[in-house]
Amino acid sequence: MSTTDQNKKESRPFLGVRFDCCNAYVRIYRNKDGTAYEGRCPKCLRPLSIPIGPGGSSNRFFTAS
């Protein structure tokens, strides 16, 4: 893997989310369209989508309850 490929992987935007449902932490990543961060609880597979838009939050870590 080239250095350029490694830099692209390392700079992929993510949010840290702790799912209260199963007390699990996971990173969720921006979708292909760049419109939201999407992921699932790693234990119960509960889906989560956090939209990207004006007036949003600058926080990088969240709790899904």
Model confidence over 39-56: pLDDT tens digits? Answer: 999 999 999 999 999 998
Predicted pLDDT of residue 10: 64
Q: Output 4 or 44, whichever has higher pLDDT.
A: 44
Instruction: Report the pLDDT averaged over residues 25-39.
Output: 97
Contacts of 35 (CB under 8 A, 6+ apart): 51, 52
Separation between Cα atoms, residue 43 and residue 53, nearest integer Å: 29
pTM score: 0.79
- Parse the chain into domains and list their residue ranges: 12-64
Residue in the block written with tokens 């250095």: 3
